[in-house]
A = this chain, B = another copy of it.
Amino acid sequence: MPQALNSAKFKIRARPHTHCGDCAIRRLALFHGVPADQLEWTQGFRSAQLDILSKHNLMDEGETPESLYTLYRGWALVYKTLPNGKRQILRIALPGDLLGYQMDMVGPSDVTIRTLTPAIACAFPRAKFWEYLDSHPELMRSLNRMNAYYMSVCQHYLMGIGRKSALERVGFLLMDLWSRGRDLGEIIGFSEQDGLEFPLSQEDMGDAIGISSVHVNRTLREMREDGLIELDSRHLKVLDETTLSEIAHFDTALATSRYSIFS
Residue in contact with A260 in the complex, picked from B104, B134, B147, B163, CB distance below 8 Å: B104
At the interface with chain B, which of A81-89, A118-126, A221-229? A81-89
Structural contact, A257 and B103, CB atoms closer than 8 A: yes
B contact residues around A257 at 8 Å (CB) = 103-104
Structural contact, A141 and B140, CB atoms closer than 8 A: yes
A-B contact list, 19 entries, CB within 8 Å: A80-B159, A82-B159, A82-B249, A86-B163, A90-B155, A102-B152, A103-B145, A103-B149, A103-B152, A103-B261, A111-B155, A143-B144, A144-B147, A150-B151, A151-B154, A161-B161, A161-B162, A162-B207, A162-B209
Closest residue of chain B to A90, judged by CB? Answer: B155
Most chain B CB atoms below 10 A, which of A111, A130, A210:
A210
The number of chain A residues with a CB under 8 A from chain B is 44
Copies in the complex: 2
- Considering the chains assembled together, what is the distance between the CA atoms of A49 and B150 in angstroms? 30
Q: Any chain B CB within 8 A of the CB of A158? A: yes
